Structure 1
Amino acid sequence: MLGVARGKSRYRLYSSVAASKPIVAAAVLERLPLYPRPPHPTVASFRELSKKWKQIIGEVDILEQTLDDMKGRAAPAASDQAKVAPVQSTDRKSLQRLLDQRLYLIVRGNSPYKGQKEWHFPEKKYVDEMNLRKCAESALETFLGDLSDVYFAGKAPGGHLDCPDFQRFYYRSHFVASKEVAASKDYAWVSRDELGEYFDETQLELLKRMLPNF
């Protein structure tokens, strides 16, 4: 777990934290990429070179290679064009944007530890839930309405931030549906690179280490 020193007991850690500062559990909800990213030019060049080399040493049938080349030059059908170049939205409330990247749900509203509006992940102050992950689930359920399309990755937090007035524990989860989120609150689906537009440097540094860069 990022940001928390290892101890003999996780429960002992939680109890000691609870005794000193309030605890906030945040749900980091992620939409996985819907389309693969095009390969890096170096990777693409290597694949092409490898294919030509196999052709030279006789591992690729010449006729098969010729047919593949003809298919590549043929104009794709309308349905294939849609698959190759899907329509993407520029609306940050839409899941149909940046389809080859991971997106994360953030909301803007009163945080559970401050009286001012700001951008944050769905989160809740820990009071009497069974554990911190249940607290994070409750925060996300309040926003989404239900968690039938959400999968939480493990029971341990993926990150921890020690703030002056509270402790925040991050729990990663995945959105396993492509339907749009219907919510009255202000929210956005943003990429890892866009998080810097919404969070301060301290939190951003943790998120950059916690979230995958691919």
Structure 2
Amino acid sequence: MKYLKKILKNSFIMSFFSVLSLCIVGYINYITKNQIKNQKEEEKKIFIQQVIPYSIYNSYEKKKYLVENELLGDLKKHNLWLLFQDKIAKVAIVESTAPDGYSGSIYMLVAAYLNGKIIGVRVLSHKETPGIGDKIDISISNWITKFKDLSVINEQDNHVLLKKYGGQIDQFTGATITPQAVTNAIKRTVIFIKRIPLIFSLKR
């Protein structure tokens, strides 16, 4: 009988510490996930400040949406911020994806007027080759700033293309796939932005 009680006691103690360990691990994971999420949100705020002048961002009414559209590179949900002036949508800031980067998907933030004029672009994250494809990153090169003030008229517009294809955008030495993927994604994203009034039934 004493032996049985000892076994039950040991089993209870082991079970208790197993449950306690699981709770601790779960809590740590929860805290870590929240910290990572908060860090990403803070980084996103910094990028938003880089793609659009504070004077514009701060003087417009803002609304945030979640959108799905193949022009944004995939069918995942993307954050979209619309900026309104006198209840009329004027500017869009949207997360977009270049799914065909050399080393995988490239995630970006694109800001443009609804008439198709680009305000700014920043790459949020990527896995492109250091020293070659990573020039898309503002911390490495100012290449991404070349899109500022360019306008996209339609899908056949040749302005927002690499120079080797008749456009205005430089490719990198030894790398064409990465800048081409980003350029094409930006162009598609601006076309999406131009269609926002139709998608949301908004006034221009």
Could you tell me the TM-score, scaled by structure 1's length? 0.24
Higher fraction of strand? 2
Rg larger for? 2
Could you tell me the TM-score, scaled by structure 2's length? 0.25
Higher fraction of helix? 2
- Greater RCO, 1 or 2 (C-alpha within 8 Å, sep 6+): 1
